[in-house]
A and B are shown apart, each in its own frame.
Chain A
Amino acid sequence: MEPLTSKKKILIQKPLNFAERMYLPALGKGLAITISHFFKKEATIRYPEVQREMSINWRGMHSLKRDENGKERCTACGLCALSCPAEAITMIAAERKPEEKDLYREEKYAAVYEINMLRCIFCGLCEEACPKEAIYLDGPIVPSDYLRKDFIYGKDKLVEEPLVKK
């Protein structure tokens, strides 16, 4: 058959010369290579103790943010749920009572806010859709669990820690 390219190269296997047949020089070379690796830095990272830094555009677990006064930013508009391609977010809205003024920023708030972490694909569309800057995917890796129901994260796991009053 005509060769399709001009890159054809005929390999000639030469018979081994004396030094090669002795096997020992090659052995020494091999030993030198392995011992050089003995002094190299290990590639291993001791995981639970040492954690690699995530990239700046890393998207992890969601967190529902509070404003500078410690009030929840979310107003339960439902845009995040609407934008979610995996339909992982559900929420129930409620009206803020006068005595809850310190807890929620707007008159409407999310009484229930649930994200199914098994459905979530961590695309980040919810944080892009949010008009109140209330949701960000800035958390760690979502931990593993045994039951499906335990992957539905409610407000207890999602909302940021309240601000500590000085």
Chain B
Amino acid sequence: MDISFVIEKFVLVAIIFGISLVIAMYSTYAERKVAAFLQDRLGPDRAGPFGILQPLADGLKMFMKEEIIPTHANKWLFMVGPGLAMLTACIGTAVIPWGSPITTAAGRIIPLQVTDINVGVLYIFGVVSLSVYGVMIGGWASNNKYSLLSAIRAASQNISYEVAMGLSIIALLLVTNTMSLKEIVEMQHGWHWNVLYQPLGFLLFIICAFAETNRAPFDLPECETELIGGYHTEYSSMKLGFYLFAEYINMFVSSAVMATLYFGGYNYPGMDWVLTQVGPVIAPLIGTAVLFAKIFAFIFFFMWVRWTIPRFRYDQLMHLGWKVLIPIAIANVIVTGIVIAIVEKF
């Protein structure tokens, strides 16, 4: 392993980490702006031009707040909770291919992906499942009934929707025949996006993604009307900031995963023509820009839905998860399998 490889990966990791933090930071701003525009308001516009310094002001406020740890809380786990939430949110980006490999003038190929493991889909799936531990540990360690109820809700919700999510991915894997995210993206070259072959699977996946990221209409773990603040009722200062931040990073990661799995990742119609026009260094960067455009579109969709649909009741949530999504997902797997078998036969 040569040193340039290490430097290359280190730089890539640092860039991706920085980008995901900045995007999460500005998601808070975008959320408030989108909410305001959808409600015929202006949103924050005092800090800097158009209020673009608002996230910095919010961050500063979070840092300045008094740090309170409840007397009867489990101190160790109380501190681990937000850190775990943040960690699991950040490591998900490692397997996402951010662009096609760049071929430099010296003939060196730089892949724009931190690591291409052959079970990339499973890795994402595992990381997403882990993310609920931050919520559960924080909720339990707070020693507060509301936090505990919220943690229980988060756990049961994530377990319920992971099943449907996994089944929708199985249908996708039947189509792609691989679990490597890089190969999945490369198969979707041009406009052969998986959403065209798996529209129902995509619908199931996006519904489950809303549930997994605890976003509205599935934000039961933090519904203020029932649970005060939810699992972070007892949290203050930057620990609370970490929880809120982790939620936005999760949103970014699941948007990236959706764009990668179903919407062609960095592929776009006419990419071969662009490649011949601008050369092998610029073309992958355009692809990366396209991927980020898709991600931002999904993030916008997350926010748009949040300000449209009211929160589900708990029994409705469970009904939707177990009695609707899972049967549809199973049917989707079976139909996909049959269609593939027929196509291969003839």
Interface residues of A (CB under 8 A from B): 27, 30-31, 33-35, 37-38, 40-44, 46
Contact = CB atoms under 8 A, between A and B. Distances in A.
Contacts of A35: 38, 304
24 contacts: A27-B308, A27-B309, A31-B304, A31-B305, A33-B308, A34-B38, A34-B304, A34-B308, A35-B38, A37-B37, A37-B39, A37-B40, A38-B34, A40-B40, A41-B40, A42-B37, A42-B40, A42-B41, A42-B42, A44-B40, A44-B41, A44-B42, A46-B42, A46-B45
Given A30-B309, A43-B40, A46-B45, 8 more contacts: A27-B308, A31-B304, A31-B305, A37-B38, A38-B34, A38-B37, A42-B37, A44-B41
A30 B41 contact: no
B341 to A, nearest CB: 29
Contacts, number: 35
Contacts of A41: 40
B340 to A, nearest CB: 26
B268 interface: no
B79 to A, nearest CB: 39
Contacts of B34: 38
B315 to A, nearest CB: 15
A78 B270 CA distance: 86
A43 B37 CA distance: 10
Contacts of A27: 308-309
A35 B308 CA distance: 9
Given A37-B37, A38-B37, A30 B42 contact: no
Contacts of A31: 304-305, 308
Report whether over half of chain A's contact residues are helix, strand or loop; otherwise say mixed. Answer: helix
Interface string B8-49: 000000000000000000000000001011111110010000
Interface string B297-324: 0000000110111000000000000000
A25 B13 CA distance: 42
A30 B306 CA distance: 11
Interface string B242-255: 00000000000000
A33 B307 CA distance: 11
A97 to B, nearest CB: 53
B231 to A, nearest CB: 27
Nearest to A26: B309
Chain A to chain B: the 7 pairs with minimum beta-carbon distance, closest first? A44-B42, A34-B308, A30-B308, A38-B37, A34-B38, A43-B40, A42-B42
Contacts of A38: 34, 37-38
Q: Which of A27, A33, A34, A43 has the most CB of B within 10 A?
A: A34
Contacts of B307: 34
Nearest to A43: B40
Contacts of B38: 34-35, 37-38
Contacts of B305: 31
A44 B36 CA distance: 10
Contacts of A43: 40-41
A41 B37 CA distance: 9
A20 B130 CA distance: 36
A31 B301 CA distance: 10
Contacts of B45: 46
Nearest to A29: B308
